[in-house]
Amino acid sequence: MTPQFLFATGIENSNPTIQNGRLRVDEMEKCGHYAHWRQDFDLVEELGICFLRYGPPIHTTWLGPGKYDWEFADQTFGELGRRNIAPIVDLCHFGLPDWLGNFQNGDFPQLFADYARAFAARFPWVQLYTPVNEMFICAQFSALYGWWNEQLTSDQAFVTALKYIVKANVLAMRAISEVRPDALFIQSESSEYFHAENPAAIGPAELMNARRFLSLDLNYGRRVDSEMYEYLMDNGMTREEYHFFLKNHLRHQCIMGNDYYKTNEHRVRADGSTTASGEIFGYHVITRQYHDRYRLPVMHTETNLYQGPCGDEAVNWLWKEWANVLRVRNDGVPIIGFTWYSLTDQVDWDSALREPNGTVNPLGLYDLNRNIRPVGEAYKQLIRDWRQVLPAQSVCLQVPIVMPHDSNEQWAQQKQDDAQQQRQDKSTAAANTASVEP
| Residue-range domain boundaries for the chain | 6-433
Confidence of residue 436 (pLDDT cuts 50, 70, 90): very low
First-last CA distance in the chain: 39
The number of angstroms, rounded, from the C-alpha of 98 to the middle of its chain's C-alpha atoms is: 22
State the architecture of 6-433 in CATH terms. Alpha-Beta Barrel (3.20)
Say if residue 397's pLDDT is above 60.
Answer: no
Contact between 185 and 397 (Cβ < 8 Å): no
The least confident of 31-35, 261-265, 341-345, 421-425 is: 421-425
pLDDT at 93: 98
Query: Strand 62-64 and strand 67-68: pairing?
Result: antiparallel
What is the rounded CA–CA span in Å between residue 301 and residue 290? 14
What's the mean pLDDT in 160-187?
97
Torsion angle defined by CA atoms of residues 405, 410, 412 and 416, in that order, rounded to the nearest 10 degrees: 140
Tell me which amino acid residue 347 is.
V
Higher pLDDT, 290 or 398: 290
* Bond prior to 154 in cis (omega within 30° of 0): no
Q: What are phi and psi of 416, to 5 degrees?
A: -65, -40
What is the rounded CA–CA span in Å between residue 287 and residue 302? 13
- From the list 6, 184, 3, 168, the residue with the least C-alpha distance to 89 is 184
Give the tens place of pLDDT for each residue, 122-135: 999 999 999 999 99
The number of angstroms, rounded, from the C-alpha of 11 to the middle of its chain's C-alpha atoms is: 12
Percent of the chain with pLDDT over 90: 88
**Angle of the 155-179 helix axis to the 239-247 helix axis, nearest 10:** 30
Confidence of residue 427 (pLDDT cuts 50, 70, 90): low
pLDDT at 404: 94
pLDDT at 3: 58
What is the rounded CA–CA span in Å between residue 409 and residue 379? 32
User: With 0-12 CB in 10 A as exposed, 13-18 as middle and 19+ as buried, what is 82?
Assistant: exposed
Write down the mean pLDDT value for the chain: 94
Give the tens place of pLDDT for each residue, 279-294: 999 999 999 999 999 9
Give the tens place of pLDDT for each residue, 205-223: 999 999 999 999 999 999 9
Contact between 90 and 54 (Cβ < 8 Å): yes
- From the list 66, 169, 170, 183, the residue with the least C-alpha distance to 123 is 183
pLDDT at 398: 61
- From the list 44, 35, 46, the residue with the least C-alpha distance to 11 is 44
- From the list 207, 91, 108, 193, the residue with the least C-alpha distance to 149 is 108
What's the mean pLDDT in 297-326?
96
What's the mean pLDDT in 56-66?
98
Confidence of residue 152 (pLDDT cuts 50, 70, 90): very high
Handedness of CA 262, 24, 56, 217 (dihedral sign): positive
What is the rounded CA–CA span in Å between residue 20 and residue 209? 30
What is the rounded CA–CA span in Å between residue 410 and residue 99? 42
Q: What is the DSSP letter of 365?
A: S
What is the rounded CA–CA span in Å between residue 379 and residue 371? 14
Confidence of residue 434 (pLDDT cuts 50, 70, 90): very low
Rg (C-alpha) for the chain, rounded Å, is 21
CA 103 vs CA 95, 207, 216: distances in Å: 9, 23, 18
What is the rounded CA–CA span in Å between residue 183 and residue 191? 24
Give the tens place of pLDDT for each residue, 5-43: 999 999 999 999 999 999 999 999 999 999 999 999 999
Say if residue 1's pLDDT is above 70.
Answer: no
Contact between 148 and 94 (Cβ < 8 Å): yes
What is the rounded CA–CA span in Å between residue 410 and residue 407? 9
pLDDT at 435: 47
Confidence of residue 238 (pLDDT cuts 50, 70, 90): very high
Q: Hey, which residues does 193 pair with through a beta bridge?
A: 265
Say if residue 114's pLDDT is above 60.
Answer: yes
List all residues 6 or more positions away from 276 whose beta carbon is below 8 Å from its beta carbon: 262, 263, 265, 266, 267
Say if residue 399's pLDDT is above 80.
Answer: no
What's the mean pLDDT in 160-168?
98
Question: What is 396-433 written as a DSSP string?
Answer: T-------GGGTTSHHHHHHHHHHHHHHT-GGGHHHHH
pLDDT at 433: 55
What is the rounded CA–CA span in Å between residue 49 and residue 387? 10
